Structure 1
């Protein structure tokens, strides 16, 4: 079933196994370059008020996927603010095929986050502000930290996309090829991959995202409830600009620009992003460190209770216990 917050406003896809946390406020905001993005706000559910968690998602993700995690943050005394990146979730799609992952420039994600911070977080949410970012959202968050160290008090990143599994040091060629195709006007074509097919229940065995079958099925049922949320293959434009962003993030000068206190979590069994590259970044941080979570696959917040317990314990030690 689908829950509608207001007749003319954005909707949330809600299923029996994935209830929306209480107190949600939904809306749209428009970025400085005229892209309409869907957002959601939640109040804290328990005292004391500790500030606001700004939750930013990975590629292909959407607000509904994080209902359980939102409730976890609420129960710790945090308000929660989140939005769908341009080109995915309930936000504006940028090309005709709405199931392709596309962006013109990786900097466009900086525009999304900067506008969300200015237009929604600052006026509508209680400070201090803590950013929690996953995968591609983690990489976009790192670029935001390099540009404005005052936006957030602390950052907590889950398997940030700073490199790809088994592709360490080899992204330059594919990035250049994708950039050439984009220059030739072919940037909106997809790079079709088997792993980008819409997930089905039968695909749980051996999936790279989570070892928790219940949470995997929850994701499948949410996408069935609202097919418009599904994002599959990336376009060559997305590949070119995202690969170039990862290449730049590996450089020493990039790590030197990161001055916000941060904790980066990596998944020991990640086969999507490069755990060794995350570790190298963690070792170069001046105001942060990293931790590798044993037995975890890529989506740490969607993992088993044992893994999620470790993730939330790390969050508590780094953010909850350090908040006012």
Structure 2
């Protein structure tokens, strides 16, 4: 697949000089990948960019460009059932996955592609569902990266009013043969194309409009609401991560960044999980909604300050020293002081 086969839209720049290809998981799913080289020297390694549900590579063009300007190679991919990867229902805009093992196969393939194609050190930057899957992989020692930044990880779903009832219904409908059906009341409209007012994703109208235009135009990449199978899979993943020892089993140094005004996933659940991490900590951005990387410039600046101190290419100590001198913004005291030293426990709130 050539670079020209990326979806281009006016006002939505897709980073140039990218390489696009397809690869198959161990169970045969065909996934779309893309990679870019850094635009500056020295090179700092590779960031695996792991998206959330209903997203696709092109939505992260701005983030990809920013990572490249920091000296990183970038690898991105689309989960099965969304973006440019293989769909498994007769209605391709239905967001479906059958079992948690399917997502595990997808992430394993992404890690293998990164190790085979792109230089170390390897890092991961993950959002929402992708962040939860990376935390679970790290717990199972299946995420061989030097550091993980987990944004708004899906450890609890706030938008489900009665989670126990929803969980039981999802499992029952799945076993009754309705796994590929939309969740009750679901449809094909992508969440990012709904009106800005009252949206759950971002407070930035410009970035929201840009993503809405992209999703509306790139219908072949967009999906609507999830299937019963996806909901069942999500609850299975959250059940794993809610186990008392789950956070203790994460050995990858991790920075969890939560959105203080997140109506999609549970910020209290994120804080509880992060407080138990031995090798990580949490930062809460008070006014951010769910999609931190699609938020306002001020919120994104706080995110990048934390990222730059926590995911160094070469000199973490210098980055931390800058933070201690007041140049690191909200990251003071939040990140590890060395490659193998644990970060402080608990959560902090950015100013």
Under a length normalisation based on structure 2, what TM-score does the superposition of the two structures give? Answer: 0.85
Residue equivalent to 2:259: 267
Question: CA offset at residue 224 of structure 1?
Answer: 2.6
Report how far residue 166 of structure 1 moved: 6.3
Say which of 155, 163, 168 aligns to 1:162: 155
Tell me, in whole angstroms, the C-alpha distance in 2 between the residues paired with 1:272 and 1:233: 13
Distance 1:167 1:284 in 2: 25
Q: Does 1:28 align with 2:22?
A: yes
How is 1:199-218 mapped onto 2 (pairs within 5 angstroms)?
199=191, 203-218=195-210
Note if contact 1:172-1:243 (Cα within 8 Å) is conserved in structure 2.
no
Matched, 1:300 2:292: yes
- How far the C-alpha of 1:39 sits from its partner, in A, is 0.6
CA gap 1:51/1:262 in 2 versus in 1, 3 angstroms = same
- In the alignment, which residue of structure 2 is the partner of 1:230? 222
Deviation, structure 1 residue 49? 0.5
Count of residues paired in the alignment: 316
Which of 102, 107, 112 is the equivalent residue of 2:106?
112
Cα shift at 1:193:
4.4
Question: Is 1:255 the equivalent of 2:247?
Answer: yes
Match status 1:62 vs 2:59 = no
Contact 1:50 1:78 in 2 (8 A): yes
SS in 1 for 2:168: helix
* CA displacement at 1:244 relative to structure 2: 2.1
Conserved? CA contact 2:3–2:19, under 8 Å? no
Counterpart of 1:84 in structure 2 is: 78
- TM-superposed CA distance for 1:116, in Å, is 1.7
Q: Is the 8 A contact 1:37 1:85 kept in 2?
A: yes
Deviations 1:277-298 (A, max 9, x none): 0000010101000000021010
Q: CA deviation at 1:206?
A: 1.6
Greater RCO (CA < 8 Å, at least 6 residues apart): 1
Secondary structure at 2:245 match in 1: helix
1:182 matched residue in structure 2: 174
5+ residue gaps, structure 1, are none
- How many Å separate the matches in 2 of 1:26 and 1:323? 31
Change (3 A) 1:35 1:195: closer
Judging changes above 3 Å, is the alpha-carbon distance between structure 1 residues 199 and 259 closer, same or farther for their aligned structure 2 residues? closer
Aligned to 2:338: none
| 2:11 matches 1:17 | yes
Instruction: State the superposition RMSD in angstroms.
Output: 2.0
Aligned partners of 1:270 and 1:227: how far apart in 2? 26
> What's 2:2 paired with?
5
Please state if 1:128 is matched with 2:125: no
Q: Deviations over 1:256-312 (max 9, x none)?
A: 211110000000110000000000001010100000002101000000000000011
1:148 and 2:141 aligned: yes
